[in-house]
Amino acid sequence: MLISPVNAEPAEIETARRLGDAFALGAAEDDLAGRFPTGHVAALRDAGLLALTAPEQFGGQGAGLGLAASIIREIGRGDPAVALILVMQYAHLATLHRGRWSEALVTRVVRAAAEEGALINALRVEPALGTPMRGGLPETVARQAGDGWLLTGRKIYSTGSEGLRWGVVWARTDEDEPRVGQFLVPLDAEGVRIIPGWDTLGLRASSSHDVEFQDVYLPADHAADIRRPSEWAIRADEAIAWSSLLIAALYTGVAEAGRDWIVAFLKSRVPANLGKPLAELPRMQEAVGGIEERIAVNRRLIASAAAETDAGPAPAAREVGIIKHVATENAIAAVEAALKLAGNHGISRKNPLERHYRDVLCGRIHTPQEDSVLLAAGRTALGT
């Protein structure tokens, strides 16, 4: 980790801020084309940010969740698609060694990230299954073949697909009593095929395409963590904190980008009948204050929960889910408020605010979703 002067923010945050500013210039083009942000990923690699959260003993930099969230927010302000890819990278590298993976497998993945900029993400969602968080066995099957496994199936919403070195594929075995879990798949292996089809409202450059596996051979140790289905009923609070809080930070970054644009617009917009910038109107000042309020609440919530996670133990998954939900809704409301102030200018594709709005809406899709969060909170409060 880079060393900064006493009382100064970590140098990595300044690096991320600079990259976020630069990424904002190319994000619109990647969004329009729906293409993988190759140049932005390369810039993160060159800046030494791709293995930031991996433990030092495995070749990483050992950064905690608090620093990671700040970096994600800065990158998300410039290019939320590449920030989402980085969210998955950070969450996996920070927590793999705390699970049941072998030390050799963790070392291989982390060293590839640290030395080569290799990307990793979980491939879990399927056309029929949806997200495994809601239960059910995956249709993707691993069957034993000699001293290894043959994996067959199809995953959807595979964020970063075109740039991933590794996929952590959620699959079941073909045993009489199936086990379920994580298989580490090199995505350049024979039998792996990326099927372009990601064409959505927001995060269009995230390369969240389908990935198909046809008899992909995996060594025995690539069955990284497979268990009876009942053993997956409870997820580790730390892993949930990393994924949920980084997602919250990403969309807070998008809200900050929306805030920055509307502030610049109100300062420069001088209607003929007014004779002064819109920013001088109390009504506009109050509205921008409301945007700032939501962003400030998000940053405090995320920072507090991240600090608690870094100090250990992590907050309960239920509480982290609430923070993710509140932060997502605050971010959406902040960008919507900016749109109201901008009028037709805000929905013009010539301006970035319409893209910020499309991107921030994607926050509602990520696990945990609103119904799951509120149901868990309600049942806890009611003791049911």
pLDDT in tens, 157-197: 999 999 999 999 999 999 999 999 999 999 999 999 999 99
Q: Share the mean pLDDT of the chain.
A: 94
**Is the per-residue pLDDT at 28 higher than 90?**
yes
Residue-wise pLDDT for 84-105, tens only, equals 999 999 999 999 988 899 999 9
pLDDT for the residue 1: 55
C-alpha to C-alpha distance for 121 and 367, rounded to whole angstroms: 15
pLDDT for the residue 301: 98
The angle subtended at Cα 95 by Cα 364 and Cα 194, nearest 5°, is: 60
- Report the relative pairing of strands 209-219 and 180-186 from DSSP bridges: unpaired
pLDDT interval class at 236 (50, 70, 90): confident
Contact predicate 327/304, CB 8 Å: no
- Report the relative pairing of strands 180-186 and 223-227 from DSSP bridges: antiparallel
Name the CATH code of domain 122-231 (choices 1.10.10.10, 2.40.110.10, 3.40.50.970, 3.30.420.40): 2.40.110.10
3-state DSSP assignment of residue 220: helix
C-alpha to C-alpha distance for 11 and 218, rounded to whole angstroms: 40
pLDDT for the residue 234: 66
Contact predicate 168/127, CB 8 Å: no
**Is the per-residue pLDDT at 4 higher than 70?**
no
**Is the per-residue pLDDT at 135 higher than 70?**
no
**E strand or H helix at 48:** none
Q: 11-117 domain in CATH 1.10.540.10?
A: yes
Domain boundaries, the chain: 11-117, 122-231, 237-382
pLDDT for the residue 128: 87
pLDDT interval class at 7 (50, 70, 90): low
Tell the residue number behind the tokens 């996929």, with chain if given. 167
C-alpha to C-alpha distance for 192 and 13, rounded to whole angstroms: 36
pLDDT for the residue 2: 53
Out of 74-78, 235-239, 378-382, least confident range: 235-239
pLDDT for the residue 160: 98
Domains 11-117 and 237-382 alike in fold: no
CATH architecture entry for 237-382: Up-down Bundle (1.20)
Contact predicate 123/211, CB 8 Å: yes
pLDDT interval class at 81 (50, 70, 90): very high
pLDDT for the residue 130: 63
**Is the per-residue pLDDT at 35 higher than 90?**
yes
